[in-house]
Amino acid sequence: MTDLVHIHNHGAVGHISLNRPKAIHSLTLDMCEAMTAALLAWRDDDAVQAVILDHAEGRGFCAGGDVTLLRKSGLDDGGESGRHFFDVEYKLNHLMFTYPKPVVAFMDGITMGGGVGISQPAKHRVATENTKFAMPETGIGLICDVGGGWYLSRLDGRLGRFLGLTGARLDGAECLAAGLATHYLSAESLAEAKARIVADPAGIEAALADLSTPAPDARILRNRGRIDTLFASDRFEDILAALEADGGDWAGKELKTLRSKSPSACKYVLKQLELGAACKNFADNMAMELRGASRAITRHDFAEGVRALLVDKDNNPQWQPATPEEVSDEMVDSLFAPLPPEHEWKPL
């Protein structure tokens, strides 16, 4: 067991609290394994009726996965240790998605990447005024994994494509409006919410409804028409052309954002969401994402994106290929091709 996750029982409620504040609780292999072990034990324990998932301290719920480890894997062992990390992490995501007992995820603060993967499967997803939700993987040459192919492709209109391509950050009110959160509470009421859940695990919905506060206007709704129109195509080049042709301030800002992302990763994500939308169940989606993610970390743009963002921190990635036109359909399709049978993802 790792001290990077606090695992407790409070009467009939299991409690998982992420405890890696210096890394905004980014998930390590040990953390994923510890969470999985706890959830499996509680799943089969009739005395446990519900699970709370939160973070111990600091400014974020969970900023993602350990991408420096994944970069090292792609450079040093052909992605083997990275594929193992994804395999374990995705088993945790799927376990939560199919969990028979209610899980309450408190998305208080930064909720990105891997943090999305452990909050979106929860039956109850609580956002606050501190919530900052994003899937920013196109900025590091990766796909929107941990279930993004399933969740993003099922949002209304073209919102999922917009979020997946741009890495746009949503606040708590926007998460509620988009359906990514089920409740909006003030951060100061979270301790009371958790206490009520512990006192009466059968009354979770009533407790959260009682403590919910009206959310501010969701800014994302003002741009829904633009998003649905300008991100209507599944061809990245068409989206860029539509934004350029629009000429407005909002379109110009989003065009500049997309021009800074990995062209390869943007095309990967569009394909991922197309494949995810066609998946009949979450397990099929996760198998697809393991193929994509385990290959993406061995390609140039992932190592380069993490270098520019987290290693050298020069924020000047040199993408290869440098333009969308140079990213062929063959490059995209090969990312999601079947793996050798012994490497294909399977649920627990």
Q: pLDDT tens for residues 271-317? A: 999 999 999 999 999 999 999 999 999 999 999 999 999 999 999 99
| Cβ–Cβ < 8 Å for 289, 145 | yes
Average pLDDT over residues 35-53: 98
Residue tagged active-site, from 65, 79, 115, 167? 65
Residue tagged active-site, from 145, 174, 254, 289? 145
Q: Which amino acid is present at 56? A: A
Query: Would you call 65 a catalytic residue per the annotation?
Result: yes
User: 146: phi > 0 → left, psi -120 to 50 → alpha, else beta; which?
Assistant: left
Query: Would you call 254 a catalytic residue per the annotation?
Result: no
Band (pLDDT 50/70/90 cuts) for residue 1 is low
Q: pLDDT tens for residues 106-154? A: 999 999 999 999 999 999 999 999 999 999 999 999 999 999 999 999 9
> Does the pLDDT at position 85 exceed 90?
yes
d(CA 119, CA 117): 6
pLDDT of residue 59: 79
Provide the sign of the torsion angle of the four alpha carbons 261, 224, 118, 341, taken in this order: negative
Query: Would you call 137 a catalytic residue per the annotation?
Result: yes
CATH 3.90.226.10 fits 5-343, yes or no: yes
Q: pLDDT tens for residues 237-262? A: 999 999 999 999 999 999 999 999 99
Average pLDDT over residues 55-81: 92
**3-class DSSP state of 40:** helix
Band (pLDDT 50/70/90 cuts) for residue 66 is confident
d(CA 305, CA 36): 30
Provide the sign of the torsion angle of the four alpha carbons 305, 154, 259, 63, taken in this order: negative
Residue tagged active-site, from 66, 137, 171, 254? 137
Give this prediction's pTM.
0.97
Residue tagged active-site, from 79, 114, 172, 305? 114
d(CA 266, CA 137): 9
